[in-house]
Structure 1
Amino acid sequence: MKLFNKLIKLSIKNKFISATIAILLILTGIYCLKALDIEAYPDFTNPIVQVITQMPGKSAEEVERLATIPLEKNLNGIPNEQKLYSSSLFGLSVIKVVFADGLPSSLIRQQVLERIYQTELPDGVKPVLGPDASAIGEIYRYTIESDYYNPMTLKAIEDWQMEKVFKQVPGIIEVNSFGGPVKTYKVILNHEKVRFYNLDVGEIFDAIKASNSTGGGHYISKNDQAYIVRGLGLYSDIESIENTVITSRNGIPIRVKDVGIVAIEPAVRIGQVGKNLDNDVVEGIVLMRKGENPTKTIKNLQNKLPDIKAQLPKGVHLKPFYERSELIHNTMHTIGHNVICGIVFVIIVLFAFILDLRITLIASLVIPLALGFAFTLFKIFDIPANLLSMGAVDFGIIVDGAVILMENIFRCLTEYKWQLTQTKKEAIIYKAVKEVGNVITFSTIIILCCFLPILAFDGVAGKLFHPLAFTMGFSLIGAVITSLFFLPAISAIYMPVKNIQEKDNKILDKITNIYRKFLNKILEELPKEFLSLVGGMFVVALTLFCFIGSEFLPNLDEGNIWLRVTVLPRSTTIEHSVEVAREIREILLQYPEVKNVISHIGSADDGTDPNLLSNIENMVDLKLAKDWRWKWHKNKQKLIQDMSEKLSDIPGITTYFTQYIQDNVEEAVSGSKGQVVVKIYGSDLYELQKLQDQTLAVLSNVKGIVDLSYDQIIGQPQYQIKIDRVKASRYGLRSDDIQKVVEIAIGGKNATQVLENEKRFDVFLRLEAKDRNSYRKIQNIIVKTPEGISVPLSNVTDISTDNGAMIITRSENSRVAIVRFNIRGRDLGSTVKDAQKELDKKLQLPDEYRIKWAGQSESQKSANTRLAIILPITLILIGVILHLNYKSKRLVLIAMSPILVTLSGCIFALFVTRTYFSISAGVGFIAAIGVSIQNGVILLSSIIRQNKLNTNLISAIEKGAIQKLRPVLTASLVAILGLLPAALSNGIGAQSQKPFAIAIIGGLSVGTFFTIFLIPLLYKITKEIKHENS
């Protein structure tokens, strides 16, 4: 402490240099803040690498067998790999490999690619990696619209023009196209003509594929020049494809146009997008590279947008309907409003208690000084920050040390009033700082100890609250440094040398008189009654805690609704889903609160989000809550409930309500989209379907569970064409000969491409619909033998119908059935607990089958386990630090006694406001305990000091307690009011801060009231016991 005292004296002596350094610290903080990467929403997800394998025409079973399982086998065991999920559905396999946080994307993607190259896959099957983007990487969505161009042309503009220009924007990794008909050159074969010319579709396919090529004849020397020789044979239009020669009969060529027609038509669609009253629009989804700062990337995008729009053909318009910048702006507005109001409240409280403008302003300077210090350290150590966490910073806690210091300086200066000189003033300031410097430093260390264990959180909780711990930690360190070394110097400059006197503060005087009266009564007459009240209150609080309910974290309001609708039966056609999607949009657009509704049917073109055609995902863009009708009263859950009731009138659908980013994050965290997910692991698809159905029936009766949905496993109608190898061998046919005809004739296949400048369009071969749309027609499809004999499929195959797999989901290298649900009108903890009890009682699992709960319930369980460890460790750490200071177990217990009343206040606040206990509230509990112990230390230190000077115990206790009543009340009130705006706010981005703020306000309100009586009383009782024992 001698060194500290010397530095304090030096800073006061060189007061102008100290003030200059303080100004430089604020300016440095502003510079670092501008250079700091601050996100509105943190990226909660670990690094994920997607492996996408497209196998057109293959069933889910074949996709799993031929692609998913071999790839999964090789992708296991990559260093730092944590989880492996996969989905196999018609024509598509998507595997997600989840890695430990903090690994560079380039490294893990390279490791995944190495394993892919080592995997044996069927010919023509080529897995690709998904974009290097995170779950919250979709920062901009738009549609390409025009009154003059048809959707196919707009789709070509999006695919071949927009994607390229958007990728030029720094920070953008990919642009996914969704919806719109893809231009294709279709060769539609007439089966009768094919049969007439004794051909099969395989021959025609091979001819078309072979006839689209170029050749090079090197060069010819002529007249001292080299003429390059080019053989030009590429398709350029419909006519060039029609004139392709398949074979010849008696010298007469048989061309493609002789057996069918060639036309430009849409490709077979795997998805479609509708916007408002338009059933077919072209959408672009702009993805940000993982690790990039959203604010900077969006700014880059907005700067580039005018240039991008200028490159569009005349009459074509780019219309955004989702911009992350709006979310960031709204979040910044909410948090900025809360922060500014909190700071204003802090300053008002300071002035109200001290009634001196100079002291108030000097004490308030600690806020920019501490933040400047914190932002500088953030930049030096390259620590990420986010608005949600930084908005929960309590400036009242930061300013507490400065309040204690400046109050003591003011009190010491007022004792001399008119008798000051500059030298004497500086000496008094030094004495005042020295008097409380130890207490300020010590109490700050205690609060730091409360925030330090927060760094032990991992996963979503860690990513949300680590920045809060760093911000509070750095700010508190900055606050204690600036309070001890800069504020005294500034006080020496700006505090006058005469006419320093404390103004009459009638309110404070009245509070002090009331406090003195009650303190004396409690100390002399009601000690047992007061302690009984404290004990009884704690017991009541613990009882109420059992009825509060719990959740992981409050859902962060994004200002939108993401509505997932499942059309039944799941094997529905895209045409039917389009009709249902239109009806959904019409219903939702009737709400004045809704700006736009965009429906997504099936999957995007790149396969990154695999979905069946029965899946309709709707982006419901909402107006700001302040513009909603009064009957919703800014209550999104009531609006969702009303929407759900109206949509229930549509027959044959199920609904699931969530939010855009939340939906992506939940999928990334648990491997399946859903607030709570039940996973049933097993091997047999039919048994899994049966268990899934039973689980749905059980969960539907649990109170609080809504939006029950599932991934139906079995139910895809199939024509199963089984090759009879014995019959086929009689005709000299191999299995691949028959499979090739089935694939091309029924499903269709791309033979080659037509190049139109920089654009490429597939040439697609298939039989006419009338020749393949029934059991009998399929039987009659011709397969040509090596001898040229035409054989119908029925002669070499057995054709039957059956129900097969729709989608096969895998997790941890096992098949899994998925059931997901939301919770409304009840807390997460008790609902999941009841659901688990019901399933354990009513669901009989076969051997080797098991259930796992995922989603928020899994995250809550993990976080609560850590919180149960962190809280005791925090208390032990504080106890050790207190013992190092007091060297007495008795005094340590007295200093820690406010914990009981503070926890009681936290619990009462949650109960009264009907706020569930969450990780956010738990962190608030820890912070409130820290401030309460700080108040206890201030009171206890003052009482101990007075007891050394005064032999009368009661008198010493009263004098010590009353002397520190103002700083304790001021410190608590500024901490309470500093978070009051966050506790009352309902704006976008306020949800995660609210339980934290409510817990602190409740804890300090009740805790401070009882602490100012409890500390003196316990000191008196223990002192008397000690005296008697001695």
Structure 2
Amino acid sequence: MHHIIDSFVNGALKGRYLTLGLTILLIFFGLVAWKLLPIEAYPELANPQVRVITLLPGKGAEEVERLITVPLEKEMNGIPNQTALRSLSLYGLSVIISTFSDGTSTNVARQQVLERVHEADIPAEAQPHLEPDVGSLREIYRYSLHSTHYSPMGLRAIEQWELEKQFRQVPGVIGVVSEGGPTKTFQVTVDPYKLRSYDISLKDLYEAVAESNGTTGGGFIEHNGNALIVRELGLLHDQQDLLKVPIKSSANGIPVRIKDVATVDLAPMVRRGQVGKDEEDDVVEGIVLLRRGENPSRVLEELNARLPEILKHLPATVELTPLYDRSQLTNQTLKTVGTNVAIGITLVIVFLSIFLVNVVSALITAVAIPLAMLTAFICLATLGVPANLLSLGAIDFGILVDSAVVMTENIVRRLSEDGQKLSPQERLTLLGDAAREVGTPVVFGIIVIIATFLPIFTFNGVEGKLFRPLATTMVCALVGGGLAALALVPVLCSFFMLKSKTVEHESPLVVFARRLYKPTLQWALKHTNIVIGLALAAVIASGFLFTQVGSEFLPHLEEGNIWLRATIKPGSVTLPESVKVSREIRLTLLKYPEVKQVLSQVGGPDDGTDPARFADQEHYVDLKPAREWRPQYHENKELLIKDMRDDLQQLPGVEYYFTQYIQTTLDEALSGVQGSLVAKVAGPDLQELEKLGHEVGRIMAETPGIVDVIVDPLLGQPQLAIEIDRDKAARYGLNVGDLQDLVEIAVGGKECTKVIDGEKRFAVIVRLSPNYRSSEESLRTILVDTPHGGKIPLMDVATIKEIVGATQIWRDGGSRMATIRANVRGRDLAASVNEAQAKVNAELTIPEGYSVQWSGEFQRQREAIHQLSIVLPITLLVIISILYISCGTLRGAVIMFSVVPLAAIGAVCALLLTRTYFSIAAGVGLIALFGLAVKNAILLVSFVNELRHDGHSVYDSVFNGSLTRMRPVLMTAVIAAVGLLPAALSNEIGSQTQKPFAIVIIGGLVSCTLLTLYVLPALYLRFAPNVGRSRKMKPKTEPEQASEPALLSPTANEHSEER
């Protein structure tokens, strides 16, 4: 490998102009790649999912589960690559979520699900359909409609029939969910006593309306050589047409029309939910959905570009108000990352100038940073890997410039020491020697760091999707930075450092450090046992301290909003009552100057894409930038949430759960339930499940650190059960189906046809007047038509009684379950959950056939720790293998490897001092830290080996090598640390996931650098490995020999001879 590296450096210097030309090409393609590179705040974390949504109006949760959910689950079980099957059954709605393994084609998954759905034995009126192919972060844009002229019903029609169509035409948009505002219908309200007077049944009226609306064709006829198409037009257009529909003729031949027995009004469809905003209780909202795999930034850019054209389709009095735009979060996070990057690069250049005392040298070195990043952009764009705030924000520019620092420092030092009396051509030769001299340590150092990132590619699940882009970015950038250091830096030095005499000016900081380092190093080398013993004690102490560091999966990205979920008790609350509570919540939150707007959603959309009960509310609280908050909150959202919670507690019978918008979406996609911590009690009986669920919830609420505990209710929905007596019905010649149809039409209302108005379609609903269906007594007296022409009250053939049934039924893996959702605040996740689990196991007796499972963020953390427990040993094994290849002896490899635990000392202390929990981000930072630490060890030990090859004693080599390499070791460590300093100190939106990564590396570099400069020389001197296959330096020219480090003092030489 040495010869390959030498040839590469020689080729770059010989073809200097070709090297510059290739660099320009790299810059061009890198800028193009950056323009094309997808950038998002968060990568898509959830595995492919397919949702099957089935509406079954009028049916309770139990019937929905029995008739729809269970048959569909039975058919969908066993689909290839399916990893989870969850479902929710509500009043009139079934939603089944099928999750597939990572990498499964969504098109294939959807096709397989569709095939199974068609085979299910479900009622004919049920029409299952698949949700659009969206990812977990589906919502990219929200807006509301306002008008002083149109009612909410009119705005809903505009949204549903005009704006949906316009937004769907934006590339990358797969659908629009319309919420809020009543859906317009034509409601035929029937008077049963008028029907009786005309001897007409409700079924007769229903069929008459259904059959009076349609068109047909009569083929064509020939006329004067032309084919005239025959069309029969019989469509209903308005209320008047409906009123004129004939039902039957009376005895005297006069037709009985709809207007004789019913009224026709424009009325809202039975609503599943309602949207409010600030002080408005009924707002029309549109939610734009992103197609899976699309670039959200690019789609939103196109959407905003088309928005002026879309607005032209609105009536003059209608205004569209944006409520949420995900590009704002992306832009804010990119701004944070960009600021950190700019500060980091500036700090790197400043510290380079301080260390090198040469602005030209500093600028030449800094060139490696943009070239490394442009190389990474090209690789990411080529591989189709999108960039995100973690993969960009956690890049340490000090690491990228590290190789260039070593190269420039060595070139400047050699030209200053040995090149003062040489001609330009001889100086060029010397420059090449200086570049080749550090070429091998540079390459091996890069290989070590890359090797530490390679195991990250083995991560699976969420942690893999989060950190594989980071690893890809870092590996590609390190390759780019290494190529720049080996090729471009020597070439630039040849242009700017040969014409004038290069004089190395040592920084006062370096001079001071060397003066301090020299005597302390001499002491350390005389007392190797003490130094090694102290280092070992520090390592053991850090191991103990690590047990005091809390743990979590990943710090939550600050989104600049609050997503408040409120659950009202009892769960049977009506929509109007829930809307009243929602208004009180909005008004309470709007009292805070920190809040810009509050958007609330009660229940769910009418299409069932977001299943929820009337008792379930979600509030999107848009916050002002933290710097604009009142001083009492110190930009701390937790304090703000605490005050909000205290104020909201004044509303009785409401439970609250605070989180963030994207965070809750990811939680739901990954665990099936909205909650960062979820306990699931599985079993067959709903009453037992609810009892166990409340017991588990009580224990969780009593556990320190666990807050916002909500037990999702399963029972408590009052129902009027109409139980048909088959024997009595048979005596009247009635069957169960006839009676069920009657109740469905009379009480719930049933669509019989649609009125087509241009491109719009509105349902026609037949229903009894409210006076005859709104109480238990009125239901008993509903008239039933018998086949013999008689009319009897419903109570003659059925028993009507009030019972308590299910409000919702959750299922997971084919079993019913109770869910308990919670957050963890003020304590680390692992400790809180472990205590809760221990209490549940100790205090609860779980009946046979029931079980308690824990999921959510805790489950992901446990999986991540398991992967880290595998990856970290592999990383360490790879490192020591590379070290063995580098130095040729196992003893030498172990000595260099000793810097790894030394680096861990500072990492652990930094986590404790900053009160940062150990997370998967900190674990990845630890992996990167090990590579950096070993790279500095290679830099120092390889030079010590070079000196030993030249005939110096072990002591002379260690002492002089450590003094000579002090500056580059110190430089690389300091520059790597300051490159991440902005990320470690930033509190802006988007910085949270970068902080643990940066804190671990900075803390580890501090301890590693200080201890490496003392402990590593002491270990080397104590165990003196053979130099093995280390590279032998070429014979030096006369000037080079003159520049050899000064010999030791007599005392030192004596010590060396004693050894």
Which band: TM-score by shorter chain? Answer: over 0.9
2:778 is matched with 777
Counterpart contact for 2:891–2:1025, Cα < 8 Å: no
SS at match of 2:365: helix
Counterpart contact for 2:887–2:942, Cα < 8 Å: no
Q: Aligned partners of 1:495 and 1:976: how far apart in 2?
A: 28
1:315 is matched with 317
Q: Aligned partners of 1:494 and 1:527: how far apart in 2?
A: 44
Map of 1:630-669 to 2, 5 A cutoff?
Answer: 630-669=631-670
1:513 is matched with 515
Is structure 2 residue 736 aligned with structure 1 residue 728? Answer: no
Unmatched runs of 5 consecutive residues or more in structure 1: none
Mean CA deviation greater in 282-291 or 762-771:
762-771
Decide which of 269, 276, 279 is 2:278's aligned counterpart.
276
Unmatched runs of 5 consecutive residues or more in structure 2: 1028-1055
The C-alpha deviation readout for 1:613-637, integer Å capped at 9, x for no partner, is 0111011111111211121111111
Give the drift of 1:417.
Answer: 4.6
1:215 is matched with 216
Map of 1:791-802 to 2, 5 A cutoff?
Answer: 791-802=792-803
Mean CA deviation greater in 12-21 or 347-356:
12-21
SS at match of 2:58: coil
Mean CA deviation greater in 462-471 or 881-890:
881-890
Map of 1:477-488 to 2, 5 A cutoff?
Answer: 477-488=479-490
Q: Aligned partners of 2:40 and 2:283: how far apart in 1?
A: 32
Give the drift of 1:382.
Answer: 2.4
Counterpart contact for 2:161–2:760, Cα < 8 Å: yes
2:962 is matched with 961
1:458 is matched with 460
Map of 1:534-933 to 2, 5 A cutoff?
Answer: 534-933=535-934
2:326 is matched with 324
Is structure 2 residue 423 aligned with structure 1 residue 418? Answer: no
- Give the aligned residue type for 1:630: P
SS at match of 2:283: strand
SS at match of 2:592: coil
Q: Aligned partners of 1:7 and 1:910: how far apart in 2?
A: 42
- Give the aligned residue type for 1:478: G
Counterpart contact for 2:532–2:1019, Cα < 8 Å: no
Q: Aligned partners of 1:24 and 1:279: how far apart in 2?
A: 59
The alignment covers a number of residue pairs equal to 1029
Counterpart contact for 2:531–2:1018, Cα < 8 Å: no
SS at match of 1:278: coil
The C-alpha deviation readout for 1:277-331, integer Å capped at 9, x for no partner, is 0000100000011100011100110110000111111110110010111111101
1:530 is matched with 531
Give the drift of 1:734.
Answer: 0.7
- Provide closer, same or farther for how the CA distance between residues 930 and 334 of structure 1 changes in structure 2, counting only shifts above 3 A: same
Q: Aligned partners of 1:548 and 1:648: how far apart in 2?
A: 34
Give the drift of 1:1024.
Answer: 9.5
Give the drift of 1:383.
Answer: 2.5
Counterpart contact for 2:5–2:439, Cα < 8 Å: no
2:473 is matched with 471
The C-alpha deviation readout for 1:225-264, integer Å capped at 9, x for no partner, is 4433332222111122122222233134322222221111
- Provide closer, same or farther for how the CA distance between residues 771 and 1024 of structure 1 changes in structure 2, counting only shifts above 3 A: closer
- Provide closer, same or farther for how the CA distance between residues 200 and 693 of structure 1 changes in structure 2, counting only shifts above 3 A: farther
Q: Aligned partners of 1:35 and 1:749: how far apart in 2?
A: 52
Counterpart contact for 2:419–2:430, Cα < 8 Å: no
Q: Aligned partners of 2:666 and 2:51: how far apart in 1?
A: 15
1:84 is matched with 85
2:337 is matched with 335
Give the drift of 1:219.
Answer: 2.9
Q: Aligned partners of 2:647 and 2:510: how far apart in 1?
A: 58
Give the structure-2-normalised TM-score: 0.95
Give the drift of 1:950.
Answer: 4.8
1:259 is matched with 261
- Give the aligned residue type for 2:353: F
Give the drift of 1:951.
Answer: 4.2
Mean CA deviation greater in 260-269 or 5-14:
5-14
Q: Aligned partners of 2:828 and 2:201: how far apart in 1?
A: 64
Decide which of 344, 367, 370 is 1:368's aligned counterpart.
370
Is structure 2 residue 380 aligned with structure 1 residue 378? Answer: yes
SS at match of 2:418: coil
- Give the aligned residue type for 1:233: G
Q: Aligned partners of 2:108 and 2:399: how far apart in 1?
A: 43
Counterpart contact for 1:417–1:501, Cα < 8 Å: no
Q: Aligned partners of 2:500 and 2:208: how far apart in 1?
A: 105
Counterpart contact for 1:84–1:96, Cα < 8 Å: yes
Is structure 2 residue 24 aligned with structure 1 residue 23? Answer: yes
Give the drift of 1:62.
Answer: 0.7
Is structure 2 residue 9 aligned with structure 1 residue 8? Answer: yes
Q: Aligned partners of 1:739 and 1:185: how far apart in 2?
A: 23
Give the structure-1-normalised TM-score: 0.98
The C-alpha deviation readout for 1:533-577, integer Å capped at 9, x for no partner, is 222222222222222211000011111111110111110000101
Counterpart contact for 1:198–1:790, Cα < 8 Å: no
2:998 is matched with 997
Map of 1:105-184 to 2, 5 A cutoff?
Answer: 105-184=106-185
Mean CA deviation greater in 972-981 or 785-794:
785-794
Q: Aligned partners of 1:416 and 1:1023: how far apart in 2?
A: 30
SS at match of 1:418: coil
The C-alpha deviation readout for 1:557-601, integer Å capped at 9, x for no partner, is 111111110111110000101100100000111111111101101
SS at match of 1:674: coil
The C-alpha deviation readout for 1:86-135, integer Å capped at 9, x for no partner, is 11100001111111223333222122111111222211211011111112
Give the drift of 1:1007.
Answer: 1.3
Q: Aligned partners of 2:342 and 2:508: how far apart in 1?
A: 29
Counterpart contact for 1:425–1:497, Cα < 8 Å: no
SS at match of 1:287: strand
SS at match of 1:964: helix
Q: Aligned partners of 1:660 and 1:426: how far apart in 2?
A: 60
Mean CA deviation greater in 249-258 or 622-631:
249-258
Q: Aligned partners of 1:768 and 1:918: how far apart in 2?
A: 61
- Give the aligned residue type for 1:1016: P
Q: Aligned partners of 1:767 and 1:969: how far apart in 2?
A: 86
Q: Aligned partners of 1:724 and 1:436: how far apart in 2?
A: 94
Mean CA deviation greater in 684-693 or 535-544:
535-544
Counterpart contact for 1:418–1:498, Cα < 8 Å: no
Decide which of 287, 293, 296 is 1:294's aligned counterpart.
296
Aligned alpha-carbon RMSD (Å): 1.7
1:1017 is matched with 1018
Q: Aligned partners of 2:567 and 2:1057: how far apart in 1?
A: 77
Give the drift of 1:452.
Answer: 0.8
SS at match of 1:42: coil
Give the drift of 1:529.
Answer: 2.8
Mean CA deviation greater in 849-858 or 98-107:
98-107
SS at match of 1:680: strand
Is structure 2 residue 200 aligned with structure 1 residue 199? Answer: yes
Counterpart contact for 1:953–1:1020, Cα < 8 Å: yes
Q: Aligned partners of 1:201 and 1:58: how far apart in 2?
A: 21
Q: Aligned partners of 1:57 and 1:501: how far apart in 2?
A: 89
Give the drift of 1:1029.
Answer: 15
Stretches of 4+ aligned residues off by more than 6 angstroms: 1024-1030
Is structure 2 residue 501 aligned with structure 1 residue 499? Answer: yes
